[in-house]
Amino acid sequence: PDVDAPAGAREIDAEGLLVTPGFVDVHTHYDGQVTWDDVLAPTAWHGVTTIVTGNCGVGFAPAEPDKHDWLIGLMEGVEDIPGTALAEGIEWTWETFPEYLDALERRRWTMDVGTQVAHGAVRAYVMGERGADNEPATAEDIEGMAAIVRDAVAAGALGFSTSRTLAHQAIDGRPVPGTFAAEDELFGIGAALGELGEGIFELAPMGAAGEDVISPQKEVDWMCRLSATIGRPVTFAMLQVDPAPELWKGLLDASLAAADQGADVWPQVAARATGLLSGLHTTYSFLDPVPAFADLKARGVTGAALVAALRDPEVRRAIVGWEPDPATAAQLQHAAERTYLLGDPPDYEPGPEQSLAAVAGRAGRSPVEAALDAMLELDGHGLLYLPILNYSDGSLDHVREMLLHPRSASGLADGGAHCGVICDASIPTFLLTHWTRDRTRGERLPLEWVVKKQTHDTARLYG
| Sign of the dihedral defined by the CA atoms of residues 237, 238, 239, 242, in that order | positive
Sheet holding 274-278, edge to edge: 274-278, 384-389, 340-341
3-state secondary structure labels for all residues of 279-305: CCCCCCCCCCCCHHHHHHHHCCCCHHH
Q: Which domain holds residue 67?
A: 23-273+395-461
- Is residue 87 in a domain? yes
Give the residue from 24, 36, 25, 42 showing the smallest Cα distance to 60: 36
Q: List, in sequence order, every residue forming a beta bridge with 112; answer none if it has no partner.
A: 50
What is the DSSP pairing of strand 48-53 with strand 23-25?
A: parallel
What is the DSSP pairing of strand 409-410 with strand 234-237?
A: unpaired
- Is residue 333 in a domain? yes
Q: Tell me, what CATH number does 201's domain have?
A: 3.20.20.140
- Is residue 3 in a domain? no
Q: How far apart are CA 153 and CA 272, in angstroms?
A: 32
Q: In terms of domains, do 27 and 104 share one?
A: yes
Q: In terms of domains, do 423 and 340 share one?
A: no
Q: In terms of domains, do 242 and 139 share one?
A: yes
Q: How far apart are CA 411 and CA 390, in angstroms?
A: 13
Q: What is the helix, strand, coil percentage profile of the chain, to 5?
A: 45, 10, 45
* Phi/psi of residue 17, nearest 5 degrees: -110, 170
Number of compact structural domains in the chain: 2
Q: How far apart are CA 461 and CA 148, in angstroms?
A: 23
Q: How far apart are CA 347 and CA 440, in angstroms?
A: 11
Look at residue 3 in the predicted model and tell me its pLDDT.
Answer: 64
- Is residue 66 in a domain? yes
Residue 269 DSSP one-character state: E
Q: In terms of domains, do 154 and 204 share one?
A: yes
Distances (CA, A) of 266 to 41, 391, 400, 405, 414: 27, 21, 16, 10, 17
Give the residue from 95, 98, 101 showing the smallest Cα distance to 114: 101
- Is residue 17 in a domain? no
Q: In terms of domains, do 159 and 99 share one?
A: yes
Of the residues 358, 387, 416, the one at which a domain ends: 387
Buried b (16+ CB within 10 A) or exposed e, 123-138: bbbbbeebbbebeebe
Q: Work out the burial of residue 65: count CB atoms within 10 Å of its CB; fewer than 13 is exposed, 13-18 middle, 19 or more buried.
A: exposed
Q: In terms of domains, do 128 and 97 share one?
A: yes
What is the DSSP pairing of strand 340-341 with strand 265-269?
A: unpaired
Of the residues 334, 356, 387, the one at which a domain ends: 387
Q: In terms of domains, do 158 and 128 share one?
A: yes
What is the DSSP pairing of strand 384-389 with strand 274-278?
A: antiparallel
Q: In terms of domains, do 259 and 314 share one?
A: no
- Is residue 283 in a domain? yes
Look at residue 224 in the predicted model and tell me its pLDDT.
Answer: 99
- Is residue 441 in a domain? yes
H helices of 231-262, in order, are 247-257
Q: In terms of domains, do 325 and 355 share one?
A: yes
Q: How far apart are CA 222 and CA 228, in angstroms?
A: 10
Residue 138 DSSP one-character state: P
Of the residues 387, 413, 448, the one at which a domain ends: 387
Asked whether 100 and 151 are in contact (CB, 8 A), the reply is no
Q: DSSP states of 12-50 as a string? A: ---TTS---PPEEE--B--TTGGGT-SS-TTGGGGTEEE
Q: At what angle do helices 303-310 and 313-320 cross, to 10 degrees?
A: 80
Q: List, in sequence order, every residue forming a beta bridge with 410; answer none if it has no partner.
A: 269
Q: List, in sequence order, every residue forming a beta bridge with 169; answer none if it has no partner.
A: 175
Q: In terms of domains, do 37 and 77 share one?
A: yes
Q: In terms of domains, do 351 and 231 share one?
A: no
pLDDT digit string (tens) for the chain, length 463 residues:
566 778 899 999 999 999 999 999 999 999 999 999 999 999 999 999 999 999 999 999 999 999 999 999 999 999 999 999 999 999 999 999 999 999 999 999 999 999 999 999 999 999 999 999 999 999 999 999 999 999 999 999 999 999 999 999 999 999 999 999 999 999 999 999 999 999 999 999 999 999 999 999 999 999 999 999 999 999 999 999 999 999 999 999 999 999 999 999 999 999 999 999 999 999 999 999 999 999 999 999 999 999 999 999 999 999 999 999 999 999 999 999 999 999 999 999 999 999 999 999 999 999 999 999 999 999 999 999 999 999 999 999 999 999 999 999 999 999 999 999 999 999 999 999 999 999 999 999 999 999 999 999 999 999 9
Look at residue 151 in the predicted model and tell me its pLDDT.
Answer: 99
Side-chain half-sphere of 260: how many Cα atoms within 13 Å?
4
Asked whether 256 and 331 are in contact (CB, 8 A), the reply is no
Look at residue 216 and give its three-state secondary structure.
helix
Look at residue 2 in the predicted model and tell me its pLDDT.
Answer: 61
List all residues 6 or more positions away from 189 whose beta carbon is below 8 Å from its beta carbon. 119, 122, 142, 145, 146, 149, 160
Q: Work out the burial of residue 262: count CB atoms within 10 Å of its CB; fewer than 13 is exposed, 13-18 middle, 19 or more buried.
A: exposed
- Is residue 126 in a domain? yes
Q: In terms of domains, do 176 and 212 share one?
A: yes
Q: Work out the burial of residue 442: count CB atoms within 10 Å of its CB; fewer than 13 is exposed, 13-18 middle, 19 or more buried.
A: exposed
Look at residue 5 in the predicted model and tell me its pLDDT.
Answer: 77
* Phi/psi of residue 391, nearest 5 degrees: -145, 30
Q: DSSP states of 382-421 as a string? A: --EEEEEES-TTSSSHHHHHHHHSTT-EE----BTS-TTT
